[in-house]
Structure 1
Amino acid sequence: MIETHNKKTIRRSRWLASLALGALVLPVAAQAETLQGALAKAYENNPTLTAARAGQRANDENVPIQKSGGLPSLGASADYEENLVLPGNNFVSPMRSLTLGGRLSVPIYQGGAVRNGIRAAKYRVEAGQADLRATEASIFSQVVGAYMDVIRDQAIVQLNQNNVAVLRTNLQATSDRFEIGDLTRTDVAQSEARLALAEGDLRRAEANLIASRESYVRLVGEAPSDLQAPPPLPNLPTTPEDAVAIALNNNPDIESANQLVNANRADIGVARAGRLPKLSATVGGGYVNNLNSISSQNVAAVNTTTSAAAGVSVTLPIFQGGRPAAQVRQAQSRTSQAIENYVAVERDVIAQTRGAYAAWQANERVIAATQQAVNANALSLEGVRAENSVGTRSILDILNAEQEYLNTQVQLVSARRNSYVAAFSVLAAMGKAEARDLGIEGGPLYDPDVNYHRVQGQIWDWSDDPAPRQQATDTRNIPAATADVPPSTPLPRQ
């Protein structure tokens, strides 16, 4: 008889455990949002990312700006003059005149300023493209965190709702037993206190869920709806050494810091050009028409004149008060700063990669341990309830067992969220958390090289772009988030 009862207890305990963790395994509706879909929406509409793209397009323009310093310049002028009063003894001054002029200037040698300026601008374009990759990975990391926060907080709200329902049933049963004299007023008070605390925990969990949903809206641009379990993350490293090796080769922050070192070195050449000779050639011409305002009876009258000139100009700086040397030393110091910044960035990337890997592995172990604790607490709760029915356990023992069971369930939900986010952080540190790595769908990926190649050779002064317009979506019309929980949403099982 005792053996049969134990088997039933074990079966019921396993059923309770599977029921309480149903949020982790139940299927979702076909129209539910996926993590890939959320990332695609953020990729298209997140204002931080669209602003970074616009900033990079502005950065691209530094290349044609620097190139313009080595290209010819052509200008024209037109002047009209009306003489209101002429000297009495001046018989050849015109009453009015129209003067037209033109000038072509061709820089021949600028001391290397143009060449080095172009090099520096190109290096900064490459650094900006790496920064854009880093921004993309950062936004994706935030979206993954917000996505997982919503799933976690929904599960925690569900767990707390279930706990409140159980405690209400317990309180009703305790009150009924008190009425027949089977329990004391103390048992009822303990049940009431534990229910009040559970309701407070539920309100707190609902507030956290609302905050997570609002953060999701801020990042994605849409309200979360029936979020599906995220897919397993690809290409996770097997050791921290592997993760660091990949990060040192692919992390966009390291790439950006390296390109900035190169750009600052090119700036030294720009500064040194300030004390070198400059050579340019000029061609000009003019045309003056007095509009027949000088009488033709005057033998000296000339109503139209033309002129043309060509020349070469050499500028040789001799003394500039130490300004060029100061600019060179300044550029050298900034290069030293960029080199040290590169080392600092490399250190940060190594630390971030190792830290994220350790957090991921630790949470994987926490998941395994907490899963065992959930199963054990489910059995313990069932046993305490059975023992209470024969008088060997108190109501307080049941309440404590229920609380321990709830706590381990919440810990398991949180550990699964933390593990997934930490694993994604490892990919981000490795430079493998960008749209090209994650298979983002919905349209062609943004390629900053397209705009760079479009503008780098532009020399026409009137080739403007269309008027700026908003790219990111507004969220002002999205209703405020609520704590309503949809049908169970699964968490990942890494």
Structure 2
Amino acid sequence: MTARHQVLRRCAASVLLLISSAMAGAVQAETLQGALAKAYRTNPTLTGARAGQRATDENVGIQKASGRPSLDATGTYTESILKPTISFTSPQRTVDANAQLSVPLYSGGAVRNSVKAARTRVAAGQADLRGTEASLFSQVVAAYMDVIRDSAVVALNQANVKALEVNLQATSDRFEVGDLTRTDVAQSESRLALARSNLQTAEANLIASRENYIALVGEAPDDLQPPPELPGLPATPEAAVQVALKDNPDIAAAAKVREATGYDVKAAKGAVMPRLTAFTQAGYTNYLDTLSAANSVNGSQINKQAAAGVQLNVPLYQGGGPGAQVRQRQAVESQAMEKEIEVERGVIAQTRSAYASWQASLESIQSNQKAVEAANLSLEGVRAENSVGSRTILDILNAEQEAVNAKVQLVTARRNAYVAGFSLLASMGHAEADDLNLEAGALYDPMVNYDRVKGKWFDWDFDSAPKLQSTRTVDSPAQNANVDPALAQP
């Protein structure tokens, strides 16, 4: 066997080792669970969604406030600059203080139903938060697998360039001794130039994948380990759809939004109902010794008063406003009902599509594995036949390109199968932090904040100033297309 053939065989062996190590079992520094955990803790999309949910939690307290007692106090100091010309008894200065306590007793169900609507929207928001979490994880998984795929593709193209460089040198040597023609050299040079162009494209793709990984995870990818097996994948698309209809967070959120709009209609109807309020008020006036003795009682310069009662307000006509508001909210409820069906349809289509994509990718892996084996066998045969003069240099170049293409397709199929499988789990509602055994410590529970704020009464009960939860990536270095040389060793 010639030295050139030995180099080419070593390059091919290096490529196969790279594929197996990058996609099937090498010991690396970063795991998929670790990447997901970092995104779970510090990705601004998810931390921002959590803050938005905390804002939604406060709507319950805001609606409850309308049905709680209210207490107002006012104080006034008055100094007369010019007394009325027809009044000889008005005081020169006064100090007034008044306080009033109002307690709503009945509001036609407006407050009760508004509170129920707010609580239901909290549940809808929590479901939306689950959906945001699953969507982010799907993006992280895709980015993680993109880096693995593109790293393998770069190494494949690097090995191909090296093999073609050796091939060109051997072809030139044989041309010098008259064994080959100038056409053979030109074909080798053309194929090498194309291989270098493909390598540059692959390197650009790898850099883009690494930068996208940083945007999602917050840190640069470092020797990514092969991902674990995906648990709980369904046997049929029908089984996947049944799980999705029960567990998909988008469907749950749409159902809660529709339920909340029903309470909105009931709350709007309260505008035409009577309102009953209990009240008590007290007043204090001090004339500061400026009231004439003739107008004072026993020389007193202080007046006190207090009263209590019940007020009934019966709306008789309000210009048609309440009817318009009820009709408007009924239309919104109808819209929410249709939206729920729209979401359900989308989830069903997404689930079936993800299942089909996953199955097709699995079959593609098997086909491409056979293609790689056949391409390697074909390449060895063409080289052997060339050595006895029955094959041309162009035959070798074509066989080498077919082998590289088959290996790239295999790497891509493995990436696509994993991403499609994870997308299928996400559409089923089984791709959230609780399902993935993240290495992220205690998981975020939105009910903790809701339980903390739902019963607060105090007007001055503020939270501390918010602090940034996500991490910036401005200090991360620009990525390159370097591939670990150890992965390309035979």
TM-score using structure 2 length? 0.95
Please state how far the C-alpha of 1:239 moved relative to its aligned partner.
1.0
The amino acid that maps onto 1:95 is: Q
Residue 112 (structure 1) aligned to one of 98, 101, 109: 109
**Given that residues 168 and 188 in structure 2 are in contact (C-alpha distance below 8 angstroms), is that contact kept between their aligned partners in structure 1?**
yes
**Bigger CA drift: 232-241 or 417-426?**
232-241
Separation of aligned partners in 1, 2:89 and 2:79:
15
Question: Which whole-Å deviations, capped at 9, do the CAs of 1:221-248 have from their partners, x for residues lacking one?
Answer: 0011100000001111111111111110
Residue 19 (structure 2) aligned to one of 24, 30, 34: 24
**Counterpart residue number, 2:178:** 181
**Given that residues 57 and 451 in structure 1 are in contact (C-alpha distance below 8 angstroms), is that contact kept between their aligned partners in structure 2?**
yes
Separation of aligned partners in 2, 1:299 and 1:283:
26
Q: Counterpart of 2:456 in 1: which secondary structure?
A: coil
**Given that residues 261 and 335 in structure 1 are in contact (C-alpha distance below 8 angstroms), is that contact kept between their aligned partners in structure 2?**
yes
**Counterpart residue number, 2:397:** 399
Please state how far the C-alpha of 1:319 moved relative to its aligned partner.
1.4
**Counterpart residue number, 1:217:** 214
**Counterpart residue number, 1:52:** 49
Separation of aligned partners in 2, 1:109 and 1:489:
75
Question: Which whole-Å deviations, capped at 9, do the CAs of 1:291-336 have from their partners, x for residues lacking one?
Answer: 1223557666641100111121111111122211111111111111
TM-score using structure 1 length? 0.94
Q: Counterpart of 1:204 in 2: which secondary structure?
A: helix
The amino acid that maps onto 2:146 is: D
Structure 1 unaligned blocks of 5 or more:
6-10
1:326-341 alignment, distance < 5 Å: 326-341=324-339
1:106-145 alignment, distance < 5 Å: 106-145=103-142
Superposition CA RMSD, Å = 1.9
Please state how far the C-alpha of 1:12 moved relative to its aligned partner.
12
**Counterpart residue number, 2:59:** 62
Question: Which whole-Å deviations, capped at 9, do the CAs of 1:49-80 have from their partners, x for residues lacking one?
Answer: 00000000000001011111111101111111
Residue 271 (structure 1) aligned to one of 251, 268, 272: 268
1:137-176 alignment, distance < 5 Å: 137-176=134-173
**Counterpart residue number, 1:228:** 225
**Given that residues 286 and 306 in structure 1 are in contact (C-alpha distance below 8 angstroms), is that contact kept between their aligned partners in structure 2?**
yes
The 1:77–1:303 alpha-carbon spacing in structure 2 relative to 1, beyond 3 Å, is: same
The amino acid that maps onto 1:395 is: I
Separation of aligned partners in 1, 2:289 and 2:48:
60
Separation of aligned partners in 2, 1:485 and 1:61:
50
**Given that residues 40 and 440 in structure 2 are in contact (C-alpha distance below 8 angstroms), is that contact kept between their aligned partners in structure 1?**
no
**Counterpart residue number, 1:357:** 355
Separation of aligned partners in 2, 1:314 and 1:89:
40
**Counterpart residue number, 1:8:** none
The 1:173–1:272 alpha-carbon spacing in structure 2 relative to 1, beyond 3 Å, is: same
Question: Which whole-Å deviations, capped at 9, do the CAs of 1:132-176 have from their partners, x for residues lacking one?
Answer: 000000000000000000000000000000000000000000000
Q: Counterpart of 2:343 in 1: which secondary structure?
A: helix
Please state how far the C-alpha of 1:90 moved relative to its aligned partner.
3.3
The amino acid that maps onto 1:480 is: A
**Bigger CA drift: 443-452 or 301-310?**
301-310
**Given that residues 17 and 375 in structure 1 are in contact (C-alpha distance below 8 angstroms), is that contact kept between their aligned partners in structure 2?**
no
Please state how far the C-alpha of 1:486 moved relative to its aligned partner.
2.1
The 1:79–1:299 alpha-carbon spacing in structure 2 relative to 1, beyond 3 Å, is: closer
Counting matched residue pairs gives 480
The 1:488–1:314 alpha-carbon spacing in structure 2 relative to 1, beyond 3 Å, is: farther
The yes-or-no answer on 1:368 pairing with 2:366 is yes
The 1:157–1:434 alpha-carbon spacing in structure 2 relative to 1, beyond 3 Å, is: same
The amino acid that maps onto 1:343 is: I
Q: Counterpart of 2:476 in 1: which secondary structure?
A: coil
**Counterpart residue number, 2:473:** 475
**Counterpart residue number, 2:33:** 36
Identical pairs, percent: 59
Separation of aligned partners in 2, 1:343 and 1:75:
48
**Counterpart residue number, 1:439:** 437
The amino acid that maps onto 2:333 is: T
**Bigger CA drift: 227-236 or 83-92?**
83-92
**Counterpart residue number, 2:258:** 261
Residue 345 (structure 2) aligned to one of 341, 344, 347: 347
Structure 2 unaligned blocks of 5 or more:
none
The amino acid that maps onto 1:256 is: A
Separation of aligned partners in 2, 1:303 and 1:195:
107
**Given that residues 227 and 489 in structure 1 are in contact (C-alpha distance below 8 angstroms), is that contact kept between their aligned partners in structure 2?**
no
The yes-or-no answer on 1:386 pairing with 2:381 is no
**Given that residues 11 and 159 in structure 2 are in contact (C-alpha distance below 8 angstroms), is that contact kept between their aligned partners in structure 1?**
no
Separation of aligned partners in 1, 2:27 and 2:413:
25
Residue 484 (structure 2) aligned to one of 483, 486, 494: 486
Please state how far the C-alpha of 1:265 moved relative to its aligned partner.
0.6
Q: Counterpart of 1:61 in 2: which secondary structure?
A: helix
Separation of aligned partners in 2, 1:489 and 1:430:
36
The 1:187–1:240 alpha-carbon spacing in structure 2 relative to 1, beyond 3 Å, is: same
The 1:182–1:310 alpha-carbon spacing in structure 2 relative to 1, beyond 3 Å, is: same
The amino acid that maps onto 2:132 is: T
